Structure 1
Amino acid sequence: MNEMRPIDRLDTAPRFTDHDAVRLNRMFRGASTREMLEAVIGDGLAGEVATVSSFGAESAVLLHLLACVDPHVPVLFLDTGKHFAETIGYRDTLVARLGLANLQVLAPDPADIAARDETGLRWSYDPDGCCEIRKVRPLAAALSRYDASFTGRKAFQSATRANLPRFEIDTSDGAGRLKINPLIDWDASRIEGYFIEHDLPRHPLVARGFPSIGCEPCTHKVAPGEDPRSGRWKGWDKTECGIHKPGEEPFL
């Protein structure tokens, strides 16, 4: 890492480049998820880092791993105002159970809601616009304070995530932040095994047919054998909320 550009909080140039992401992917090729997290967090390889969590169906795995390494890593949760009540309850359960010491609840700007979604029904005719107001904008503002973020994305979840690397560059605002996908190579059986091994609590909606859980109005049950994310925005040509843009995701 000796060639990697030092992070300067007053510097407006990109913090990381595609070259840095490639080198990090090579550096940790063959390393376990725990080894990678300990190096990134403990050695400060990614600067100031936070994790983004939906407290969804599989979120407990990454949150448990991070809590084992450093429970003070900031956990950013987007409270869209449209979550299932079960998700909010599950969030509180995991925070207490795992000892997560730095939960940060992000909310949409009230002015944006008043101007663009006064009725609260934008999800029903413009789900992209709803996600932009309630997820993309508040998360972008929060991430501006960090050099890197962890995500819970996994390759098996959908075709759009099948070839993602562990390390990539988030170029959405030109800041050159690292986006780190610690579980990208975990499959469903490994996730399930981790839940069992560590006796992690389950999101209550999983047993009711929701393998991928987002906002209540836009999340539907999934039939056995279907893509786990096929219940998200059913009936719309939409597979991501916008905080992970396909155009930003290099296939390294």
Structure 2
Amino acid sequence: MAYDQIEGSAAGLAARLDAELREAHPLTVLRAAHERFGARLALVSSFGAESAVLLHLASQVSPGIPILFLDTGMLFGQTLDYRRTLAARLGLSDVRDLRPAFADLAIQDPKADLWRTSVDDCCHIRKVLPLDRALAGFDGWITGRKRFHGGDRLSLPVVEVADGKVKFNPLANWTKVELDAYATEHDLPAHPLVAQGYASIGCWPCTQPSDDGRAGRWAGQEKTECGIHVARAPGVAPNVGGDI
């Protein structure tokens, strides 16, 4: 089947599911996603400041759901520790560490300082390409995005289509208050850097302390997304090679 046909088929399914689930509890959304896609469903997590809630919810549906974790090589040590601690705490049995391809780094970022001159290109080889490669084996995926993050996320649907795959945003409707209440109710451990003033946590060169949502990410720049949630032009398949 041609890529545009796959995209169209997925778009129709996503529209139907969004109509059914747009007001549903996140756990209901996750169960519907898992029932629909089974082993062809993955959850993408940064193991960042707000990740514990979605991971806890997912563990109740299936502790064996594949968790895709982008280990960019630029993460805080605290994030790597948190990834191990939280996965063990929640009994997540299939956490996959996605790393940038050696060839991409050797050609595009041999000194590991590409972030100084082009944060977009740095994100592309360290996040976008590794995730594209990993998602090639799945038909649906789950994110932790929420509307209260602002920006392009204000109109976030619960279910959408992205690059020929159905994409679920179970927490889209939840507020920060609801998120924090759930974490407290279930005694979920916080990322260690939250106590140091980090409300959103990514790679260390591009993350600063901030209590204003994602304001500490790429501070002072127009950039608000790393690229993995940026829509591609219709009919343009994911780039799973090594070129930027």
Q: TM-score, with normalisation over the residues of structure 2?
A: 0.90
Mapped to 1, the partners of 2:150 and 2:24 lie a distance apart of: 24
Higher percent of residues as helix = 2
Structure 1 residues 190-242: Cα deviation after superposition (integer angstroms, max 9, x where no partner) = 110011100000001111111000000100111x4x3x111101122100000
Per the TM alignment, residue 47 of structure 1 is displaced from its structure 2 partner at its CA by 6.7
**Aligned 1:1-252 pairs, distance under 5 A:** 13-14=5-6, 16-41=9-34, 43-45=35-37, 48-171=40-163, 176-222=164-210, 224=211, 226=212, 228-245=213-230
Which string of whole-angstrom CA distances, capped at 9 and with x for unpartnered residues, describes residues 113-172 of structure 1? Answer: 01010110001110000000100001000000000100000000122101110111112x
Alpha-carbon separation, structure 1, partners of 2:145 and 2:119 = 21
CA RMSD of the aligned region, Å?
1.7
Change (3 A) 1:107 1:45: closer
Q: Please state whether the residue corresponding to 1:14 is helix, strand or coil.
A: helix
Query: Which whole-Å CA distance do the structure 2 matches of 1:27 and 1:188 have between them?
Result: 24
Q: Distance in 2 between matches of 1:242 and 1:31?
A: 27
Q: Which runs of 5+ in 2 are unaligned?
A: 234-244
Q: Equivalent residue of 2:161, what SS?
A: strand
Question: Larger relative contact order (C-alpha < 8 A, sep ≥ 6)?
Answer: 2
Q: CA contact under 8 A between 2:22 and 2:158: conserved in structure 1?
A: no
Q: Which moved more, 1:230-239 or 1:210-219?
A: 230-239
Contact 2:100 2:126 (C-alpha < 8 Å) held by counterparts: yes
**Deviation at 1:52?**
0.4
TM-score, structure 1 as length reference: 0.87
Offset of 1:178 from its aligned partner?
Answer: 0.7
**What is the rounded CA distance, in whole Å, between the counterparts of 1:133 and 1:125 in structure 2?**
14
Gaps of 5+ in 1: 1-9
Partner Cα distance (2:160, 2:126) in 1: 24
Identify if the C-alpha distance between structure 1 residues 243 and 150 changes in structure 2 by more than 3 Å, giving closer, same or farther: same
